[in-house]
């Protein structure tokens, strides 16, 4: 029961933060799963992928109604992105968890730096 409440609270804060700050959920969710729930790095990243899907569908539905989607860019970039993701998602399984955690850490630092940079320009 406590575990379920913790998971729900994590999901809630991830959604709240991504809605509030306009950032993707993955960068917040993966460290929380790893540090708070002790989930393995690879599994945390797999779960993050899965959580992203329904959240994006909800947003895309809203954007579709507001006619904000560039379909040409979306179709071609998505085709490229799916090919890239299929390759790297397979390769990443062979990367040791400790190395993957470091790689992810660099990405988290990059995201933080980008956020600070974004607030300075305004």
Cβ 81 to other proteins, closest distance in Å? 4
Q: Which two tokens stand for residue 81?
A: 């992105």
Cβ 6 to other proteins, closest distance in Å? 9
Closest CA to 10 of 100, 109, 38, 107: 38
Cβ 52 to other proteins, closest distance in Å? 5
Cβ 99 to other proteins, closest distance in Å? 11
With both helix axes pointing from N to C terminus, report the angle between 26-36 and 41-65 in degrees, rounded to the nearest 10. Answer: 150
Q: Which two tokens stand for residue 28?
A: 């917040």
Would you give the distance in Å from CA 41 to the centre of its chain? Answer: 13
CA distance 91 to 93: 5
């Amino acid at each position: 029961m406590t575990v379920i409440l913790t998971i729900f609270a994590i999901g809630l804060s991830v959604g709240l933060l991504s809605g509030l700050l306009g950032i993707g959920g993955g960068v917040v969710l993966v460290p929380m799963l790893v540090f708070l729930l002790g989930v393995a790095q690879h599994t945390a990243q797999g779960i993050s992928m899965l959580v992203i899907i329904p959240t994006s569908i909800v947003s895309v539905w809203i954007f579709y109604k507001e006619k904000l989607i560039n379909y040409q860019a979306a179709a071609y970039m998505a085709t490229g992105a799916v090919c890239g993701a299929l390759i790297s998602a397979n390769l990443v399984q062979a990367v040791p968890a400790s190395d993957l955690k470091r790689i992810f850490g660099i990405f988290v630092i990059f995201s933080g730096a980008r956020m600070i940079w974004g607030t300075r320009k305004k």
